[in-house]
Amino acid sequence: MTTHSLQTSVITLASAARLRDSVIAHAAANGWSVAAVVLDPGGAVVTLAKMDGVADPILEIATDKALTATPGKITRAFFERKQH
């Protein structure tokens, strides 16, 4: 009998924070103002940040868009949620 297992990745808070900080640093170096959201494989927020001057609603938009990149999520779901 062959057994199969699904391997999932887990992101630690420390790794997520490094990723978030790298995104913010890259944006700052390029003169961009952004919000950065890091999710775990299940779509839960691990960490987020927005740069000075970024409007608060951008965090929600960035989180929703990040959800479309998680396994099993599709961009259509993002738009459908926004329609209701």
pLDDT at 70: 73
How many structural domains are present in the chain?
Answer: 1
pLDDT at 76: 61
Is 28 among the domain residues?
yes
Is 4 among the domain residues?
no
Is 63 among the domain residues?
yes
The answer for residues whose C-beta is within 8 angstroms of residue 76's C-beta and 6 or more apart is none
Is 5 among the domain residues?
no
Q: Look up the domain containing 43 and give its range.
A: 13-83
pLDDT at 59: 92
Query: pTM of the entire structure?
Result: 0.73
Residue type, 50: K
- CA distance from start to end of the chain: 47
DSSP string, 6-71: -------HHHHHHHHHHHHHHHHHTT---EEEEE-TTS-EEEEEE-TT--THHHHHHHHHHHHTST
- How do the pLDDT tens digits run along the chain, 84 residues long? 666 655 667 899 999 999 999 999 999 999 999 999 999 888 889 999 999 999 999 999 999 888 888 766 655 655 666 666
